[in-house]
Amino acid sequence: MHKTTVYLDDETQRRLRRLADASGRTQADIIRDAILAYSGGSKRRRPRSIGIGRGGRDLSARVDSLLEGFGEKR
């Protein structure tokens, strides 16, 4: 592996730090994955949250009723 220095503006650095903190990954890992994704690479990782919950067998049939009122102010 090779070391590369990247200069980021303050806002981009904050976003990168937030992504790393939220995902439990290193900033370097996120940058590597972003470069692969941008360049058409195939090593995109699935979010760790996929597959951890259960939605029931008929989730797709009930999507409208499940999302009813979602995003509306109370």
Question: Would you state the torsion angle of the CA atoms of residues 55, 61, 66, 69, taken in this order, to the nearest 10 degrees?
Answer: 150
Sole residue written with tokens 């900033």: 27
What average pLDDT does the segment 30-42 reach? Answer: 87
pLDDT at 18: 95
Percent share of the chain, pLDDT over 70: 81
pLDDT at 33: 92
Is a pLDDT exceeding 90 seen at residue 19?
yes
Question: Would you kindly state where each structural domain of the chain is located, as residue ranges?
Answer: 1-42
CA 33 – CA 29 distance, rounded (Å): 6
Under CATH, what is the fold of the domain 1-42? Arc Repressor Mutant (1.10.1220)
pLDDT-based confidence at residue 32 (cuts at 50, 70, 90)? very high
**Contacts with 29 (C-beta within 8 Å, 6 or more apart), sequence order:** 20
Is a pLDDT exceeding 90 seen at residue 68?
no
CA 35 – CA 4 distance, rounded (Å): 13
